[in-house]
């Protein structure tokens, strides 16, 4: 792959997804990743959660923030609200010809498959990856060292990715186009 910065900067927009845990290996990966894309001048989309979302909002103050409170179900925030929010973020990225960058902190659920409607089986990050694959959005997954050397997803998803290099955190970069 060309430099990480030039690759990411080649897209008109980037959407970010990842763990809500501020102290996770995914958050450490994100902190190490951000300086390499600090020059990105396109549109950035991100969720409203803590963890990765918070780090991205700090790095890109003008980011479009997808808030779960905008996706009420039955007049309240429900579990489905989180899936709707994530689906809206990925759809926003797809409509703009963007790149999804994901920072998982755990392996993907074994049921995960590329899809055209959100199905994360309990993982918003991996659900966003599966939806992006189903919609034809390029995806860059930053896998922290803690998850090992192999791509941490079932074959139906893993077969879409190629190893793209060592991540700034020392983990690995995996790309699906």
* pLDDT, tens digit, 9 for 90 and up, residues 5-14: 999 999 999 9
- pLDDT over threshold 80, residue 1: no
- pLDDT over threshold 80, residue 2: no
CATH number at residue 21: 3.40.50
Looking at residue 148, what is its pLDDT?
A: 85
Query: Tens digits of per-residue pLDDT, 135-177?
Result: 999 999 999 998 888 999 999 999 999 999 999 988 999 999 9
| Cα gap 19→7, rounded to integer Å | 23
Looking at residue 11, what is its pLDDT?
A: 98
Looking at residue 67, what is its pLDDT?
A: 97
Looking at residue 87, what is its pLDDT?
A: 98
Query: Tens digits of per-residue pLDDT, 63-82?
Result: 999 999 999 999 999 989 99
Determine which helix (DSSP H) or strand (DSSP E) holds 18, and give its type and residue range.
strand 13-18
Show Cβ contacts of residue 95 under 8 Å, excluding neighbours closer than 6 positions.
Answer: none
Angle between helices 79-95 and 124-135 (to 10 degrees): 40
Q: What is the DSSP code string of 45-105?
A: EEES-STHHHHHHHH-TTPEEE-GGGS-BTTB--HHHHHHHHHHHHHHHHHTT-EEEEE-S
Q: Model confidence at 17, in pLDDT bands (50, 70, 90)? A: very high
Looking at residue 169, what is its pLDDT?
A: 86
Q: Which domain holds residue 83?
A: 4-176
- pLDDT over threshold 60, residue 118: yes
Count up the domains in the chain and report the number.
1
Looking at residue 62, what is its pLDDT?
A: 97
How confident is the model over 76-93, as a mean pLDDT?
Answer: 96
DSSP structural state of residue 147: G
Burial of 56 (0-12, 13-18, 19+ CB in 10 A): buried
163 strand-pairing partners: 174
Looking at residue 149, what is its pLDDT?
A: 83
Q: Are 101 and 16 in contact (CB under 8 A)?
A: yes
């Amino acid at each position: 792959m060309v430099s990480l910065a030039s690759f990411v900067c080649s897209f008109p927009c980037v959407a970010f997804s990842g763990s809500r845990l501020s102290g996770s290996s995914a958050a450490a990966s994100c902190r190490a990743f951000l300086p390499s894309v600090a020059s990105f001048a396109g549109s950035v989309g991100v969720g409203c959660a803590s963890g990765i979302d918070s780090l991205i909002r700090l790095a890109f103050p003008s980011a479009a923030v997808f808030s779960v409170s905008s996706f009420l179900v039955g007049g309240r925030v429900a579990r489905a609200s989180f899936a709707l929010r994530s689906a809206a973020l990925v759809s926003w990225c797809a409509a703009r010809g963007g790149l999804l960058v994901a920072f998982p902190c755990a392996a993907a659920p074994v049921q995960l498959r590329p899809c055209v409607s959100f199905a994360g089986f309990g993982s918003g990050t991996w659900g966003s990856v599966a939806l992006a694959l189903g919609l034809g959005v390029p995806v860059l997954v930053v896998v922290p060292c803690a998850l090992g050397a192999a791509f941490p997803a079932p074959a139906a998803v893993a077969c879409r990715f190629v190893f793209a290099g060592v991540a700034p955190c020392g983990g690995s970069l995996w790309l699906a186009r």
